[in-house]
Structure 1
Amino acid sequence: MSTHVLTDCWTMTRRELAHWARRPVQVLVGLVFPVMLLLMFGYLVGGGRGIEGDYVDYLVPGMLALTMAFGLESTMLNVTQDLNKGVVDRFRSLPMANGAVLVGRSAADMLQSALGLLVLVAVAAALGWRAHGSPAAFLGALGLLLLFRFAMLWIGIHLALVAGKPELVQTVQILVWPVGFLSNAFALPDSMPGWLGTVVEWNPMSRTATAVRDLLGGPGGEPGHVWAAVLWPLGLLAVFFPLAVRRFARLSR
Protein backbone atom coordinates (compact mmCIF):
# COMPACT_ATOMS: atom_id res chain seq x y z
CA MET A 1 0.00 0.00 0.00
CA SER A 2 1.50 3.34 -1.04
CA THR A 3 2.15 6.24 1.31
CA HIS A 4 -0.55 8.17 -0.55
CA VAL A 5 -3.17 5.56 0.30
CA LEU A 6 -2.09 5.39 3.95
CA THR A 7 -2.29 9.19 4.20
CA ASP A 8 -5.80 9.19 2.75
CA CYS A 9 -6.95 6.48 5.15
CA TRP A 10 -5.45 8.31 8.12
CA THR A 11 -7.15 11.54 7.06
CA MET A 12 -10.51 9.77 6.97
CA THR A 13 -9.79 8.18 10.35
CA ARG A 14 -9.09 11.60 11.88
CA ARG A 15 -12.37 12.85 10.42
CA GLU A 16 -14.27 10.05 12.17
CA LEU A 17 -12.43 10.63 15.45
CA ALA A 18 -13.34 14.33 15.29
CA HIS A 19 -17.00 13.25 15.37
CA TRP A 20 -16.43 11.82 18.85
CA ALA A 21 -15.99 15.33 20.28
CA ARG A 22 -19.24 16.42 18.65
CA ARG A 23 -21.21 13.36 19.84
CA PRO A 24 -19.78 12.50 23.28
CA VAL A 25 -23.10 11.11 24.53
CA GLN A 26 -23.22 8.55 21.73
CA VAL A 27 -19.66 7.45 22.50
CA LEU A 28 -20.43 7.24 26.23
CA VAL A 29 -23.57 5.16 25.65
CA GLY A 30 -21.56 2.76 23.49
CA LEU A 31 -19.12 2.27 26.37
CA VAL A 32 -21.72 2.02 29.15
CA PHE A 33 -24.19 -0.34 27.43
CA PRO A 34 -21.94 -3.45 27.66
CA VAL A 35 -21.27 -2.65 31.33
CA MET A 36 -25.02 -2.59 31.98
CA LEU A 37 -25.40 -5.96 30.28
CA LEU A 38 -22.58 -7.39 32.40
CA LEU A 39 -24.19 -6.18 35.61
CA MET A 40 -27.66 -7.34 34.56
CA PHE A 41 -26.71 -10.85 33.49
CA GLY A 42 -24.08 -11.28 36.17
CA TYR A 43 -26.09 -10.15 39.17
CA LEU A 44 -29.78 -9.89 38.25
CA VAL A 45 -30.37 -12.96 36.08
CA GLY A 46 -27.03 -14.71 36.56
CA GLY A 47 -26.80 -18.38 37.34
CA GLY A 48 -25.64 -20.30 34.33
CA ARG A 49 -27.04 -23.82 34.39
CA GLY A 50 -24.43 -26.55 34.26
CA ILE A 51 -21.44 -24.21 34.64
CA GLU A 52 -18.78 -25.38 37.05
CA GLY A 53 -17.04 -22.64 38.99
CA ASP A 54 -17.81 -18.95 39.32
CA TYR A 55 -20.44 -17.83 36.81
CA VAL A 56 -18.79 -14.40 36.46
CA ASP A 57 -15.62 -16.13 35.22
CA TYR A 58 -17.77 -17.76 32.54
CA LEU A 59 -19.82 -14.65 31.78
CA VAL A 60 -17.09 -12.03 31.33
CA PRO A 61 -15.42 -13.62 28.26
CA GLY A 62 -18.87 -14.10 26.75
CA MET A 63 -19.72 -10.46 27.39
CA LEU A 64 -16.45 -9.36 25.82
CA ALA A 65 -17.33 -11.33 22.68
CA LEU A 66 -20.91 -10.02 22.72
CA THR A 67 -19.61 -6.45 22.90
CA MET A 68 -17.65 -7.07 19.72
CA ALA A 69 -20.82 -8.20 17.92
CA PHE A 70 -23.00 -5.29 19.02
CA GLY A 71 -22.74 -1.55 18.44
CA LEU A 72 -22.46 -1.74 14.65
CA GLU A 73 -25.39 0.62 14.08
CA SER A 74 -23.23 3.71 14.66
CA THR A 75 -20.88 2.77 11.84
CA MET A 76 -23.74 1.71 9.61
CA LEU A 77 -25.59 4.98 10.21
CA ASN A 78 -22.49 7.05 9.49
CA VAL A 79 -21.90 5.22 6.22
CA THR A 80 -25.48 5.69 5.02
CA GLN A 81 -25.62 9.33 6.16
CA ASP A 82 -22.44 10.15 4.25
CA LEU A 83 -23.95 8.54 1.17
CA ASN A 84 -27.25 10.41 1.42
CA LYS A 85 -25.78 13.81 2.30
CA GLY A 86 -23.43 13.75 -0.67
CA VAL A 87 -20.31 13.69 1.51
CA VAL A 88 -18.95 10.66 -0.30
CA ASP A 89 -19.49 12.37 -3.67
CA ARG A 90 -17.44 15.34 -2.49
CA PHE A 91 -14.66 13.05 -1.35
CA ARG A 92 -14.69 11.36 -4.77
CA SER A 93 -14.01 14.72 -6.40
CA LEU A 94 -10.71 14.87 -4.50
CA PRO A 95 -7.52 13.00 -5.47
CA MET A 96 -8.20 10.35 -2.83
CA ALA A 97 -7.66 6.61 -2.81
CA ASN A 98 -10.85 4.67 -3.50
CA GLY A 99 -12.10 3.04 -0.31
CA ALA A 100 -10.23 5.36 2.08
CA VAL A 101 -13.58 6.53 3.46
CA LEU A 102 -14.50 2.96 4.47
CA VAL A 103 -11.05 2.22 5.89
CA GLY A 104 -11.13 5.42 7.95
CA ARG A 105 -14.57 4.56 9.29
CA SER A 106 -13.46 1.03 10.20
CA ALA A 107 -10.26 2.27 11.88
CA ALA A 108 -12.22 4.68 14.09
CA ASP A 109 -14.66 1.92 15.01
CA MET A 110 -11.81 -0.40 15.96
CA LEU A 111 -10.31 2.26 18.23
CA GLN A 112 -13.65 2.68 19.99
CA SER A 113 -14.03 -1.11 20.22
CA ALA A 114 -10.58 -1.43 21.84
CA LEU A 115 -11.52 1.30 24.31
CA GLY A 116 -14.79 -0.49 25.05
CA LEU A 117 -12.91 -3.71 25.77
CA LEU A 118 -10.61 -1.96 28.22
CA VAL A 119 -13.55 -0.34 30.03
CA LEU A 120 -15.41 -3.64 30.34
CA VAL A 121 -12.28 -5.48 31.54
CA ALA A 122 -11.69 -2.74 34.14
CA VAL A 123 -15.29 -2.95 35.40
CA ALA A 124 -15.12 -6.76 35.53
CA ALA A 125 -11.87 -6.57 37.49
CA ALA A 126 -13.49 -4.13 39.92
CA LEU A 127 -16.28 -6.69 40.42
CA GLY A 128 -13.75 -9.37 41.34
CA TRP A 129 -13.14 -11.09 37.98
CA ARG A 130 -9.58 -12.12 37.23
CA ALA A 131 -7.87 -13.53 34.15
CA HIS A 132 -6.10 -16.73 35.11
CA GLY A 133 -3.94 -17.10 32.01
CA SER A 134 -0.52 -15.62 31.25
CA PRO A 135 -0.06 -12.03 30.01
CA ALA A 136 0.59 -13.41 26.52
CA ALA A 137 -2.66 -15.39 26.66
CA PHE A 138 -4.52 -12.27 27.82
CA LEU A 139 -3.18 -10.28 24.87
CA GLY A 140 -4.03 -13.17 22.56
CA ALA A 141 -7.60 -13.17 23.86
CA LEU A 142 -7.92 -9.44 23.18
CA GLY A 143 -6.52 -10.03 19.69
CA LEU A 144 -9.16 -12.69 18.96
CA LEU A 145 -11.90 -10.36 20.18
CA LEU A 146 -10.73 -7.48 17.98
CA LEU A 147 -10.36 -9.81 14.99
CA PHE A 148 -13.97 -10.90 15.46
CA ARG A 149 -15.02 -7.24 15.73
CA PHE A 150 -13.17 -6.41 12.51
CA ALA A 151 -15.05 -9.15 10.66
CA MET A 152 -18.42 -8.07 12.08
CA LEU A 153 -17.60 -4.48 11.19
CA TRP A 154 -17.14 -5.21 7.50
CA ILE A 155 -20.34 -7.23 7.46
CA GLY A 156 -22.04 -4.14 8.89
CA ILE A 157 -20.42 -1.84 6.32
CA HIS A 158 -21.54 -4.07 3.47
CA LEU A 159 -25.10 -4.25 4.82
CA ALA A 160 -25.14 -0.46 5.24
CA LEU A 161 -24.09 0.02 1.62
CA VAL A 162 -26.80 -2.40 0.53
CA ALA A 163 -29.43 -0.67 2.68
CA GLY A 164 -28.37 2.73 1.40
CA LYS A 165 -30.64 4.74 3.73
CA PRO A 166 -30.30 5.51 7.46
CA GLU A 167 -33.92 4.56 8.15
CA LEU A 168 -33.23 1.03 6.92
CA VAL A 169 -30.22 0.52 9.18
CA GLN A 170 -32.33 -0.34 12.23
CA THR A 171 -34.05 -3.09 10.27
CA VAL A 172 -30.74 -4.52 9.11
CA GLN A 173 -29.25 -4.19 12.62
CA ILE A 174 -31.86 -6.65 13.90
CA LEU A 175 -29.94 -9.36 12.01
CA VAL A 176 -27.07 -8.97 14.48
CA TRP A 177 -29.17 -9.90 17.53
CA PRO A 178 -29.46 -13.61 16.70
CA VAL A 179 -25.67 -13.78 16.39
CA GLY A 180 -25.30 -12.33 19.87
CA PHE A 181 -27.98 -14.21 21.77
CA LEU A 182 -27.89 -17.54 19.92
CA SER A 183 -24.45 -18.10 21.38
CA ASN A 184 -22.76 -19.46 24.48
CA ALA A 185 -22.24 -15.97 25.94
CA PHE A 186 -24.60 -16.65 28.85
CA ALA A 187 -25.07 -20.42 29.03
CA LEU A 188 -23.47 -23.69 27.95
CA PRO A 189 -24.80 -25.28 24.75
CA ASP A 190 -25.14 -28.55 26.68
CA SER A 191 -27.91 -26.97 28.78
CA MET A 192 -29.97 -26.20 25.64
CA PRO A 193 -32.18 -28.39 23.44
CA GLY A 194 -30.12 -30.51 21.07
CA TRP A 195 -30.80 -28.62 17.84
CA LEU A 196 -30.33 -25.24 19.53
CA GLY A 197 -27.08 -26.33 21.14
CA THR A 198 -25.75 -27.33 17.72
CA VAL A 199 -26.64 -23.93 16.25
CA VAL A 200 -25.00 -22.20 19.20
CA GLU A 201 -21.81 -24.22 18.89
CA TRP A 202 -21.45 -23.27 15.20
CA ASN A 203 -22.00 -19.60 15.88
CA PRO A 204 -18.73 -17.74 15.12
CA MET A 205 -19.17 -15.66 18.26
CA SER A 206 -19.40 -18.86 20.34
CA ARG A 207 -16.09 -20.00 18.86
CA THR A 208 -14.47 -16.71 19.86
CA ALA A 209 -16.00 -16.77 23.37
CA THR A 210 -14.87 -20.38 23.94
CA ALA A 211 -11.33 -19.62 22.77
CA VAL A 212 -11.18 -16.53 25.00
CA ARG A 213 -12.37 -18.55 28.00
CA ASP A 214 -9.65 -21.09 27.33
CA LEU A 215 -6.94 -18.42 27.06
CA LEU A 216 -8.15 -16.66 30.20
CA GLY A 217 -8.48 -19.90 32.18
CA GLY A 218 -12.21 -19.59 32.81
CA PRO A 219 -14.90 -22.29 32.92
CA GLY A 220 -16.32 -23.28 29.56
CA GLY A 221 -13.01 -22.95 27.74
CA GLU A 222 -11.96 -25.76 25.42
CA PRO A 223 -8.47 -26.28 23.96
CA GLY A 224 -8.26 -26.18 20.19
CA HIS A 225 -10.86 -23.45 19.64
CA VAL A 226 -8.26 -20.75 19.01
CA TRP A 227 -7.81 -21.79 15.39
CA ALA A 228 -11.57 -21.81 14.86
CA ALA A 229 -11.75 -18.34 16.43
CA VAL A 230 -9.15 -17.18 13.89
CA LEU A 231 -10.47 -18.96 10.81
CA TRP A 232 -14.12 -17.93 11.23
CA PRO A 233 -13.44 -14.15 11.17
CA LEU A 234 -10.88 -14.52 8.39
CA GLY A 235 -13.44 -16.44 6.34
CA LEU A 236 -16.08 -13.76 6.94
CA LEU A 237 -13.58 -11.06 6.00
CA ALA A 238 -12.66 -12.91 2.81
CA VAL A 239 -16.33 -12.71 1.79
CA PHE A 240 -17.57 -9.35 3.06
CA PHE A 241 -14.50 -7.11 2.71
CA PRO A 242 -14.33 -7.45 -1.10
CA LEU A 243 -18.13 -7.27 -1.32
CA ALA A 244 -18.13 -3.96 0.58
CA VAL A 245 -15.27 -2.49 -1.46
CA ARG A 246 -16.89 -3.60 -4.73
CA ARG A 247 -20.26 -2.18 -3.68
CA PHE A 248 -18.65 1.13 -2.73
CA ALA A 249 -16.78 1.30 -6.05
CA ARG A 250 -20.04 0.74 -7.97
CA LEU A 251 -21.62 3.72 -6.24
CA SER A 252 -19.21 6.02 -8.08
CA ARG A 253 -20.36 4.88 -11.50
Structure 2
Amino acid sequence: MSRSKNRAPDFVRQFEGAQTLDGLLELAGSPCDTADVLERMREARADGADSSEVIPTLFEEEPRFRDAELARRLYQNLLGLWDLVLEGKEVRLDDGPRPPRPKKERLQPPAPFHPGEPSSEFVEAAWRYLEDDDKARTRLMHAYENRQDGLLGALDAAGLTDEGYGVARHLLFELHAMLELGWPPGLQAVEARALDREPDAPPAPDTLQDYVTEALFEAEQDEEHPLASEELAQVRTLVRRGLAALWRARKGR
Protein backbone atom coordinates (compact mmCIF):
# COMPACT_ATOMS: atom_id res chain seq x y z
CA MET A 1 0.00 0.00 0.00
CA SER A 2 1.38 3.43 -0.90
CA ARG A 3 2.18 6.05 1.71
CA SER A 4 -0.43 8.43 0.28
CA LYS A 5 -3.22 5.89 0.79
CA ASN A 6 -2.05 5.11 4.31
CA ARG A 7 -1.90 8.75 5.38
CA ALA A 8 -4.48 10.09 7.85
CA PRO A 9 -7.08 12.47 6.42
CA ASP A 10 -6.19 16.16 6.51
CA PHE A 11 -7.61 18.13 9.42
CA VAL A 12 -9.69 20.99 8.02
CA ARG A 13 -11.37 23.49 10.33
CA GLN A 14 -14.83 23.68 8.81
CA PHE A 15 -18.30 24.15 10.26
CA GLU A 16 -20.62 21.83 8.32
CA GLY A 17 -23.87 23.15 9.77
CA ALA A 18 -25.90 22.91 12.95
CA GLN A 19 -27.49 19.58 12.09
CA THR A 20 -24.11 17.90 11.62
CA LEU A 21 -22.57 19.41 14.74
CA ASP A 22 -25.64 18.58 16.85
CA GLY A 23 -25.26 14.91 15.91
CA LEU A 24 -21.54 14.88 16.62
CA LEU A 25 -22.02 16.53 20.01
CA GLU A 26 -24.65 13.98 20.95
CA LEU A 27 -22.42 11.07 19.93
CA ALA A 28 -19.59 12.54 22.01
CA GLY A 29 -21.83 12.79 25.08
CA SER A 30 -22.15 16.57 25.22
CA PRO A 31 -25.34 18.06 26.69
CA CYS A 32 -24.95 21.08 24.39
CA ASP A 33 -26.33 21.70 20.95
CA THR A 34 -24.93 24.09 18.34
CA ALA A 35 -26.89 27.05 19.69
CA ASP A 36 -25.39 26.50 23.16
CA VAL A 37 -21.90 26.16 21.68
CA LEU A 38 -22.30 29.33 19.65
CA GLU A 39 -23.44 31.29 22.71
CA ARG A 40 -20.49 30.09 24.78
CA MET A 41 -18.03 30.84 22.00
CA ARG A 42 -19.34 34.37 21.58
CA GLU A 43 -19.04 34.96 25.32
CA ALA A 44 -15.51 33.53 25.31
CA ARG A 45 -14.53 35.76 22.40
CA ALA A 46 -15.88 38.80 24.24
CA ASP A 47 -13.83 37.82 27.31
CA GLY A 48 -10.69 37.32 25.24
CA ALA A 49 -10.58 33.57 25.88
CA ASP A 50 -9.20 30.98 23.47
CA SER A 51 -10.89 27.98 21.86
CA SER A 52 -8.85 25.65 24.06
CA GLU A 53 -10.58 27.21 27.08
CA VAL A 54 -14.16 27.06 25.84
CA ILE A 55 -14.31 23.66 24.10
CA PRO A 56 -13.66 21.56 27.27
CA THR A 57 -16.64 23.26 28.95
CA LEU A 58 -18.95 21.64 26.39
CA PHE A 59 -18.54 18.26 28.08
CA GLU A 60 -19.48 17.27 31.63
CA GLU A 61 -16.92 14.47 31.48
CA GLU A 62 -14.27 13.23 29.08
CA PRO A 63 -15.84 13.10 25.59
CA ARG A 64 -16.32 9.61 24.17
CA PHE A 65 -15.82 8.68 20.55
CA ARG A 66 -16.68 5.52 18.69
CA ASP A 67 -13.68 6.03 16.41
CA ALA A 68 -11.03 8.59 15.51
CA GLU A 69 -12.98 9.79 12.46
CA LEU A 70 -15.86 11.03 14.65
CA ALA A 71 -13.42 12.83 16.94
CA ARG A 72 -11.75 14.48 13.96
CA ARG A 73 -15.05 15.67 12.48
CA LEU A 74 -16.27 16.99 15.82
CA TYR A 75 -13.17 19.12 16.39
CA GLN A 76 -13.09 20.22 12.75
CA ASN A 77 -16.62 21.54 13.18
CA LEU A 78 -16.01 23.09 16.59
CA LEU A 79 -12.87 24.89 15.46
CA GLY A 80 -14.51 25.89 12.19
CA LEU A 81 -17.36 27.43 14.17
CA TRP A 82 -14.84 29.17 16.43
CA ASP A 83 -13.15 30.69 13.38
CA LEU A 84 -16.49 32.07 12.17
CA VAL A 85 -17.11 33.61 15.59
CA LEU A 86 -13.65 35.19 15.63
CA GLU A 87 -14.23 36.68 12.17
CA GLY A 88 -17.62 38.04 13.20
CA LYS A 89 -19.38 36.20 10.39
CA GLU A 90 -23.05 35.24 10.41
CA VAL A 91 -23.71 31.68 11.57
CA ARG A 92 -26.86 29.98 10.30
CA LEU A 93 -28.38 27.49 12.75
CA ASP A 94 -31.14 26.25 10.46
CA ASP A 95 -31.32 24.95 6.93
CA GLY A 96 -34.32 27.05 5.92
CA PRO A 97 -34.35 29.39 2.97
CA ARG A 98 -31.69 32.06 3.01
CA PRO A 99 -32.89 35.63 3.39
CA PRO A 100 -33.00 37.46 0.07
CA ARG A 101 -29.98 39.56 -0.72
CA PRO A 102 -30.66 43.27 -0.56
CA LYS A 103 -31.07 44.67 -4.02
CA LYS A 104 -28.28 46.90 -5.17
CA GLU A 105 -29.57 50.43 -5.20
CA ARG A 106 -29.79 51.71 -8.74
CA LEU A 107 -27.99 54.99 -9.21
CA GLN A 108 -30.15 57.79 -10.50
CA PRO A 109 -28.87 60.28 -13.07
CA PRO A 110 -29.07 63.96 -12.19
CA ALA A 111 -32.24 65.81 -13.13
CA PRO A 112 -31.87 67.50 -16.56
CA PHE A 113 -31.21 71.23 -16.69
CA HIS A 114 -33.06 71.55 -20.04
CA PRO A 115 -34.19 74.08 -21.19
CA GLY A 116 -31.88 76.19 -19.04
CA GLU A 117 -28.20 75.96 -18.15
CA PRO A 118 -26.37 73.57 -15.82
CA SER A 119 -25.91 74.66 -12.23
CA SER A 120 -22.82 73.82 -10.20
CA GLU A 121 -24.95 71.26 -8.34
CA PHE A 122 -25.83 69.57 -11.62
CA VAL A 123 -22.19 69.44 -12.72
CA GLU A 124 -21.16 67.86 -9.40
CA ALA A 125 -24.02 65.34 -9.52
CA ALA A 126 -23.27 64.44 -13.15
CA TRP A 127 -19.58 63.92 -12.39
CA ARG A 128 -20.41 61.62 -9.46
CA TYR A 129 -22.89 59.69 -11.59
CA LEU A 130 -20.22 59.10 -14.23
CA GLU A 131 -17.76 58.01 -11.55
CA ASP A 132 -20.12 55.59 -9.81
CA ASP A 133 -22.23 54.03 -12.58
CA ASP A 134 -20.05 51.88 -14.83
CA LYS A 135 -22.88 50.95 -17.20
CA ALA A 136 -23.97 54.55 -17.69
CA ARG A 137 -20.39 55.66 -18.27
CA THR A 138 -19.86 52.94 -20.87
CA ARG A 139 -23.12 53.81 -22.64
CA LEU A 140 -22.27 57.50 -22.73
CA MET A 141 -18.72 56.76 -23.89
CA HIS A 142 -20.10 54.79 -26.83
CA ALA A 143 -22.42 57.66 -27.71
CA TYR A 144 -19.49 60.08 -27.54
CA GLU A 145 -17.22 57.97 -29.74
CA ASN A 146 -19.92 57.19 -32.31
CA ARG A 147 -21.43 60.66 -32.63
CA GLN A 148 -18.32 62.79 -32.24
CA ASP A 149 -15.87 60.88 -34.41
CA GLY A 150 -15.11 64.08 -36.33
CA LEU A 151 -14.20 65.90 -33.14
CA LEU A 152 -12.03 63.00 -32.02
CA GLY A 153 -10.33 62.84 -35.40
CA ALA A 154 -9.42 66.52 -35.17
CA LEU A 155 -8.14 66.00 -31.65
CA ASP A 156 -6.03 63.08 -32.82
CA ALA A 157 -4.47 65.29 -35.50
CA ALA A 158 -3.64 68.12 -33.08
CA GLY A 159 -0.13 66.82 -32.37
CA LEU A 160 -0.51 66.33 -28.63
CA THR A 161 1.56 63.94 -26.55
CA ASP A 162 -0.14 60.81 -25.26
CA GLU A 163 -0.73 62.50 -21.90
CA GLY A 164 -2.13 65.66 -23.44
CA TYR A 165 -4.37 63.73 -25.82
CA GLY A 166 -5.64 61.55 -22.97
CA VAL A 167 -6.53 64.56 -20.83
CA ALA A 168 -8.28 66.41 -23.67
CA ARG A 169 -10.18 63.35 -24.89
CA HIS A 170 -11.39 62.39 -21.42
CA LEU A 171 -12.37 65.93 -20.50
CA LEU A 172 -14.36 66.37 -23.71
CA PHE A 173 -16.04 63.03 -23.02
CA GLU A 174 -17.11 64.18 -19.56
CA LEU A 175 -18.48 67.44 -20.97
CA HIS A 176 -20.30 65.58 -23.74
CA ALA A 177 -21.77 63.16 -21.19
CA MET A 178 -22.91 65.98 -18.91
CA LEU A 179 -24.70 67.64 -21.80
CA GLU A 180 -26.29 64.34 -22.83
CA LEU A 181 -27.54 63.85 -19.27
CA GLY A 182 -28.81 67.38 -18.87
CA TRP A 183 -30.25 67.97 -22.35
CA PRO A 184 -32.64 65.09 -23.21
CA PRO A 185 -33.10 66.08 -26.89
CA GLY A 186 -29.42 65.18 -27.28
CA LEU A 187 -26.50 66.60 -29.21
CA GLN A 188 -25.66 66.78 -32.89
CA ALA A 189 -22.29 65.82 -34.31
CA VAL A 190 -19.63 68.52 -34.05
CA GLU A 191 -17.61 69.38 -37.14
CA ALA A 192 -13.90 68.66 -36.99
CA ARG A 193 -13.01 72.24 -37.93
CA ALA A 194 -14.51 73.43 -34.63
CA LEU A 195 -11.14 72.83 -32.98
CA ASP A 196 -9.27 74.90 -35.58
CA ARG A 197 -10.78 78.29 -34.81
CA GLU A 198 -12.16 80.40 -32.03
CA PRO A 199 -15.94 80.12 -31.62
CA ASP A 200 -18.02 83.00 -32.93
CA ALA A 201 -21.01 82.13 -30.72
CA PRO A 202 -21.58 82.91 -27.03
CA PRO A 203 -19.36 80.78 -24.76
CA ALA A 204 -20.57 77.78 -22.80
CA PRO A 205 -21.96 78.33 -19.27
CA ASP A 206 -19.53 79.33 -16.55
CA THR A 207 -20.21 76.15 -14.57
CA LEU A 208 -18.84 73.99 -17.38
CA GLN A 209 -15.90 76.32 -17.97
CA ASP A 210 -15.10 76.22 -14.27
CA TYR A 211 -15.14 72.42 -14.43
CA VAL A 212 -12.61 72.54 -17.27
CA THR A 213 -10.38 74.94 -15.33
CA GLU A 214 -10.37 72.69 -12.26
CA ALA A 215 -9.72 69.53 -14.28
CA LEU A 216 -6.79 71.08 -16.13
CA PHE A 217 -5.31 72.39 -12.89
CA GLU A 218 -5.38 68.82 -11.54
CA ALA A 219 -3.75 67.57 -14.75
CA GLU A 220 -0.98 70.13 -14.35
CA GLN A 221 -0.40 69.04 -10.75
CA ASP A 222 -0.54 65.29 -11.45
CA GLU A 223 2.30 63.57 -9.58
CA GLU A 224 3.01 60.88 -12.18
CA HIS A 225 2.35 62.57 -15.55
CA PRO A 226 1.93 66.33 -15.13
CA LEU A 227 1.20 68.31 -18.28
CA ALA A 228 3.92 70.75 -19.29
CA SER A 229 2.83 74.38 -19.33
CA GLU A 230 3.23 74.66 -23.12
CA GLU A 231 1.03 71.65 -23.81
CA LEU A 232 -1.39 72.64 -21.09
CA ALA A 233 -2.07 75.86 -22.98
CA GLN A 234 -2.75 73.90 -26.18
CA VAL A 235 -5.03 71.44 -24.39
CA ARG A 236 -6.90 74.32 -22.76
CA THR A 237 -7.51 75.94 -26.14
CA LEU A 238 -8.70 72.71 -27.75
CA VAL A 239 -11.02 71.83 -24.88
CA ARG A 240 -12.43 75.36 -24.72
CA ARG A 241 -13.21 75.27 -28.45
CA GLY A 242 -14.61 71.75 -28.16
CA LEU A 243 -16.84 72.74 -25.25
CA ALA A 244 -18.19 75.74 -27.14
CA ALA A 245 -18.93 73.50 -30.14
CA LEU A 246 -20.67 70.89 -27.98
CA TRP A 247 -22.77 73.57 -26.32
CA ARG A 248 -23.85 74.84 -29.74
CA ALA A 249 -24.61 71.27 -30.84
CA ARG A 250 -27.61 70.92 -28.49
CA LYS A 251 -30.66 69.88 -30.45
CA GLY A 252 -33.65 72.22 -30.30
CA ARG A 253 -31.81 74.97 -28.44
TM-score (norm. length: structure 1): 0.30
Q: Kindly indicate whether structure 1 or structure 2 has the higher relative contact order, using CA contacts under 8 Å at least 6 residues apart.
A: 1
TM-score (norm. length: structure 2): 0.30
